[in-house]
């Protein structure tokens, strides 16, 4: 069969490969013939080429992981992420965005001509326009974890929800980097999933922190949670040759939820632009 995805024999890096969307994407990449380097703080069960343990909010841990990755990379996938609650607001921003940004920008010089980056944002970040000045202020600092921690300590009351802010940052970052990366012939995109049945969602709803009926408000009209595989497929497609002229996009993977909001068919609870 023709390698229509273009992953056969290629070196790819993926964070968050232990569970959920990242695990699903890692398995799809292995099945597509890629050499997968999987980064996670938890145990990775997918039979990848190499597993590297990493703490996404610790720059020394990230630097150690970088030292174990190939010098030439075809594609990079940012799938690591935590909910807040139960994680603190600062940890959500550090893990879901700051650590991923540091890793991504450290890997960009290794990404080959025609390579790509795909990340997981969220429908929870789709109201990014309302916080654009604050997001741009955060993006203007250097990419070190120390600088991110300092900025967060200076903006304690600037945003109420670290998770949504982290995902808004990922969306704006993706669009902001498109021009710079296009000049290197590298693509960058992200997806915004609707509620997905995963360990992440179990943590988010744990101990009654986020009630089931509250999450249900954001389900698409087909009435079901997405699966990790639904999101893994979208990520693998975006970094594949099937999307070879697609860059700078945030793709809602939500079975039409955002479309319904935009055309006024349901309430705009997330402030979606």
Q: Tens of pLDDT along 222-267?
A: 999 999 999 999 999 999 999 999 999 999 999 999 999 999 999 9
Percent of the chain with pLDDT over 90: 85
Residue 73: pLDDT band by 50, 70, 90 thresholds?
very high
DSSP letter for 43, please.
P
Q: What is the pLDDT of residue 205?
A: 53
Residue 210: phi and psi, rounded to 5, are -130, 110
Across 52-60, average pLDDT: 98
Cα(37)–Cα(60) distance, integer angstroms:
18
Handedness of CA 221, 224, 225, 228 (dihedral sign): negative
In a domain? residue 4: no
In a domain? residue 267: no
Residue 218 has pLDDT above 80, yes or no: yes
In a domain? residue 72: yes
Cα(115)–Cα(237) distance, integer angstroms:
13
Per the structure, the count of domains in the chain is 1
Sort 80 into a burial class: Cβ within 10 Å, 0-12 / 13-18 / 19+. Answer: buried
Q: What is the pLDDT of residue 246?
A: 98
Q: Tens of pLDDT along 227-239?
A: 999 999 999 999 9
Q: What is the pLDDT of residue 208?
A: 47
Q: What is the pTM of this model?
A: 0.94
Q: What is the pLDDT of residue 217?
A: 85
In a domain? residue 173: yes
Q: What is the pLDDT of residue 202?
A: 62
CATH number assigned to the domain comprising residue 243:
3.40.50.720
Q: 157 or 10: whose pLDDT is higher?
A: 10
Residue 86: pLDDT band by 50, 70, 90 thresholds?
confident
Q: Tens of pLDDT along 109-136?
A: 999 999 999 999 999 999 999 999 999 9
Q: What is the pLDDT of residue 197?
A: 86
In a domain? residue 5: no
Q: Which domain holds residue 40?
A: 11-262
Residue 115: phi and psi, rounded to 5, are -80, 180
In a domain? residue 108: yes
In a domain? residue 238: yes
Across 70-98, average pLDDT: 95
Measured in whole angstroms, the distance separating CA 79 from the mean position of its chain's CA atoms is 5
Q: Tens of pLDDT along 145-156?
A: 999 999 999 998
11 strand-pairing partners? 35
Q: What is the pLDDT of residue 216?
A: 80
In a domain? residue 94: yes
Residue 177 has pLDDT above 90, yes or no: yes
Percent of the chain with pLDDT over 70: 94
Q: Are 33 and 6 in contact (CB under 8 A)?
A: no
Q: What is the pLDDT of residue 267?
A: 94
């Amino acid at each position: 069969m023709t390698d229509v995805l273009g992953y056969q024999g290629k070196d790819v890096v993926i964070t968050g490969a232990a569970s959920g969307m990242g695990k699903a994407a890692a398995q799809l990449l292995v099945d597509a013939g890629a050499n997968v380097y999987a980064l996670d703080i938890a145990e990775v069960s997918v039979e990848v080429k190499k597993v590297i343990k990493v703490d996404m909010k610790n720059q020394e841990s990230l630097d150690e992981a970088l030292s174990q990755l190939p010098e030439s990379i075809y594609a990079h996938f940012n799938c690591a992420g935590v909910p807040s609650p139960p994680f603190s607001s600062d940890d959500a921003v550090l893990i879901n965005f700051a650590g991923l940004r540091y890793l991504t920008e450290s890997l960009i010089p290794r990404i080959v001509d025609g390579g790509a980056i795909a990340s997981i944002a969220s429908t929870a970040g789709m109201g990014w326009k309302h916080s654009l000045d604050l997001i741009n202020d955060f993006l203007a600092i250097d990419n070190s974890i120390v600088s991110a921690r300092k900025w967060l300590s200076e903006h304690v009351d600037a945003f109420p929800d670290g998770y949504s802010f982290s995902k808004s940052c990922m969306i704006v970052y993706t669009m902001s980097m498109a021009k710079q990366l296009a000049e290197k012939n590298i693509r960058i995109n992200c997806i915004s999933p609707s509620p997905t049945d995963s360990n992440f969602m179990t943590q988010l709803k744990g101990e009654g922190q986020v009630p089931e009926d509250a999450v249900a408000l954001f389900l698409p009209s087909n009435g079901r949670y997405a699966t990790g595989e639904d999101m893994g497929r979208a990520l693998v497609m975006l970094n594949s040759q099937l999307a070879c002229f697609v860059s700078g996009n945030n793709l809602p993977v939500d079975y039409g939820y955002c479309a319904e909001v935009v055309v006024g068919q349901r309430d705009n609870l997330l402030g979606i632009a």
